[in-house]
């Protein structure tokens, strides 16, 4: 039976001489795999619609295993994401993280909207580093991780100066710092942004400008938290880090 879905291409791999196996993240069904026959041929009507990051409507013959992609209509090709190596890297990380954090055929309209909004903002040239930080924080719950960002993990204080404890998984106030000697000292701007990014609806994101020093602190905390608790080691993340290191060596 043919069914229509709204989806985003999060993975596309060659299969045989002319086919592709495509992973879609859809609004209606969650993550699904489909076979796109003949999609590797340049004149195929499935060639354009099976490119990474494409957002569109897909007509799929569903089955218990791989579905069969019959046709697709592109809503947005997310063109900018493919024309800049940095944007390609950040977008690749977003879709790889989505792939690793979600189960097959478990619909989650919230995740679909989050993925679409993030890639769309990136395509419209919002700051990709900040978008990645927001996405990483919002994907933590999918991994069963719930950082404490609204109060001190020890005493529950909601006011005061805060640092971050990887060991305790959240903020610690200035009065409890001695309870984790390995805490990260961070600026209060970073504390504020960690809270905002974790709790905020991304569709409400306006123009945002963050100092480089604050960006470094955000990435440091989020990376350390993921490294400690997520069990994920993604190639796309390593590539972003190598690009940053290369950029730093020229500054």
For 10-29, the pLDDT digits (tens) are: 999 999 999 999 999 999 99
The neighbour count for residue 63, using CB atoms within 10 Å, is 11
Mean pLDDT across 132-156? 97
**Nearest residue to 145 (alpha-carbon basis) of 61, 249, 29, 227:** 227
Fold observed for domain 1-77: OB fold (Dihydrolipoamide Acetyltransferase, E2P) (2.40.50)
Q: Could you tell me if 187 and 213 are in contact, meaning their C-beta atoms sit under 8 angstroms apart? A: yes
Residue 142 has pLDDT above 90, yes or no: yes
pLDDT for 207 equals 82
CB-based contacts of 207, cutoff 8 Å, min separation 6: 126
Structural contact between residues 57 and 6, judged by C-beta atoms closer than 8 angstroms: yes
Both structure tokens of 139 = 């994907």
Q: Kindly report the number of other CB atoms within 10 A of residue 153's CB atom.
A: 22
Residue that is written with structure tokens 């994907």 in the block: 139
What average pLDDT does the segment 60-81 reach? 94
DSSP state of 185: P
Cβ atoms of 238 and 246 within 8 Å: the answer is no
Q: Report whether 105 contacts 32 (CB < 8 A).
A: yes
CB 184 within 8 A of CB 224: yes
The single residue listed with the structure tokens 């340049």 is 42
**Residue 77: DSSP 8-state:** -
- For 94-106, what is the mean pLDDT? 95
CA distance 156 to 176: 10
Residues 152, 166: Cα–Cα separation, whole Å: 13
pLDDT of residue 163: 98
Give the tokens for residue 11. 């993975």
Find out if CATH 3.20.20.70 is the number for domain 81-250.
Answer: no
Q: In this predicted structure, what is the pLDDT of residue 117?
A: 97
Helix ranges, the chain (H): 80-83, 85-101, 109-123, 128-139, 188-199, 212-229, 235-249
Q: Please give the Cα distance from 223 to 166 (Å, whole number).
A: 10
* Per-residue pLDDT tens digits for 185-234: 999 999 999 999 999 999 888 888 899 999 999 999 999 999 999 999 89
The full set of domain ranges for the chain reads: 1-77, 81-250
165 in Cβ contact with 172 (< 8 Å): yes
How far is Cα 236 from Cα 214, in angstroms, rounded to an integer?
23
């Amino acid at each position: 039976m043919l069914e229509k879905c709204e989806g985003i291409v999060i993975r596309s791999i060659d299969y045989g001489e002319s086919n592709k196996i495509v992973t879609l993240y859809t609004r209606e069904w969650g993550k699904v795999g489909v076979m796109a026959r003949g999609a590797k041929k340049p004149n195929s009507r499935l060639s354009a619609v099976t490119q990474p990051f494409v957002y569109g409507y897909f007509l799929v013959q569903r089955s218990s295993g791989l579905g069969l992609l019959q046709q697709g209509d592109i809503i947005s090709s997310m063109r900018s994401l493919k024309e800049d190596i940095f944007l390609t890297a950040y977008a690749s990380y977003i879709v790889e993280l989505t792939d690793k954090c979600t189960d097959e055929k478990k619909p989650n309209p919230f995740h679909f909207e989050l993925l679409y909004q993030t890639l769309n903002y990136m395509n419209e040239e919002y700051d990709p580093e900040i978008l990645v930080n927001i996405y990483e924080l919002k994907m933590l719950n999918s991994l069963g991780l719930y950082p404490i960002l609204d109060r001190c993990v020890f005493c529950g204080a909601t006011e005061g100066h805060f640092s971050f404890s990887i060991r305790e998984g959240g903020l610690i106030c200035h009065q409890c710092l001695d309870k984790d000697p390995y805490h990260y000292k961070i600026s209060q701007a970073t504390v504020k942004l960690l809270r905002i990014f974790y709790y905020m609806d991304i569709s409400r994101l306006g123009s945002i400008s963050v100092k480089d020093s604050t960006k470094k602190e955000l990435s440091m905390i989020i990376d350390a938290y993921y490294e400690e608790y997520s069990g994920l080691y993604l190639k796309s993340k390593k590539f972003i880090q190598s690009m940053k290191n290369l950029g730093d060596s020229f500054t």
